Copies of this chain bind each other. A is one copy, B any other.
Amino acid sequence: MTAPSDARARGTRLPRVRRRRQLLAAAQEVFVARGYHAAAMDEIADRAGVSKPVLYQHFPGKLELYLALLEEHSEALVEKQREALESTDDNRQRVTASFQAYFDFVAGDGEAFRLVFESDLRNLPAVREKSEQTFQRCAELIGKVIRQDTSISDEEAHLLSIALVGMAETSARYWLNNHGSVPQNAAEQLVARLAWRGISGWDLTRSSEEAEFED
């Protein structure tokens, strides 16, 4: 099914940093495929073509191994998001770029997004905190833009940002699970348009909303 990553030549020795990288890659595959609980350290070691104690010479335990990956990909997402919002001064473009960043994140890097969005370890405070903090940082980046260009209050802007991020995350995940029905570009554009229609010109309409769908 999936490529065995790097189980090549079960007898090759590797310098420390190289081995570490490889172990992280193997761990990611297993954690993504099985989730934290169902992932066995034995399988991770096997996948890396190495035996278990080697794993423990690089990471103090299963949890720390997991956290290392979570940290890495959380930062990557926030960074992608920051870049997207800084890539232009046109707010319509910003929305497009922001959604594109979300879709790219979900589409890339061996489905690592599952660690950030679908972790089965969110009951552990350390993990819950990291996930929520990542989510909040993304929302805050967007919130800053909204506040900059409107007179929306801080609290309202924040909640709106949360809603937008939720929209992005959910639709990107859904799109990936049903690959094939719609190309990435079309999906991005569609959802970005929904968001832009929702947020643009917000200041103008405080209570004049009588339009209907049709006509």
Spell out A's residues near B (CB within 8 Å).
34-35, 37-38, 91-92, 118, 120-123, 132, 146, 149-150, 155-156, 159-160, 162-167, 169-171, 174-175, 177, 181-182, 187, 190-191, 193-203, 205, 209-214
Contacts and interface: CB of A to CB of B under 8 A. Distances in A.
17 contacts: A37-B37, A37-B120, A149-B213, A159-B174, A159-B175, A160-B194, A162-B170, A162-B174, A163-B194, A166-B166, A193-B209, A194-B199, A197-B197, A197-B199, A200-B212, A201-B211, A202-B213
Contacts of A174: 159, 162, 166
A83 to B, nearest CB: 21
A175 to B, nearest CB: 7
A40 to B, nearest CB: 13
